[in-house]
Amino acid sequence: MNLLLNEKLILLYARLFLAFSFLSAVADRFGFWGSVGEEGIAWGDFQSFIEYVAYLNPFLFDSLIPSLAYVVTALEIILALFLIFGIYLKESSFISFIMLLLFALAMSFTSSIKVAFDYSVFSASGLALLLFLIYYKEKNKLA
């Protein structure tokens, strides 16, 4: 297998599993993986996710929390689809990086940095940043 094909497969792997991570988190919010309180389930329903968003963002007005929860959920679905289908890869990987970094920082400040490391949020944000760098360089070579 030539190096170019290997690079394309590696990038596809990185994109798909970053996207599947987003979709898995969304599925958890809507109870597709299981119910609230079951082992391995972070939220189990959307109300629990809204409560977690409130916990991570204590500086926001309570009235903004549900909207933020819906916006983040929609953004994760859109970013996942873009990553899967190879649409706006530079932009979607950069937005993924920013969103994941903000999430990791919020987790670090409200819980502990250990929690952010345990859930590999910094690692995921690093992967998104690497994807951005690759697609940024690729796009600028062609321009």
0.75 exceeded by the pTM? yes
4 pLDDT tier (thresholds 50, 70, 90): low
18 pLDDT above the threshold of 90: yes
70 pLDDT above the threshold of 80: yes
Host domain of residue 124: 3-142
C-alpha span between 74 and 3 (Å, rounded) = 36
Whole-number mean pLDDT of the chain? 94
C-alpha span between 100 and 125 (Å, rounded) = 5
> What percent of the chain has a predicted confidence (pLDDT) above 70?
95
Q: pLDDT at position 42, please?
A: 93
DSSP conformation class of 59: T
Domain count, the chain: 1
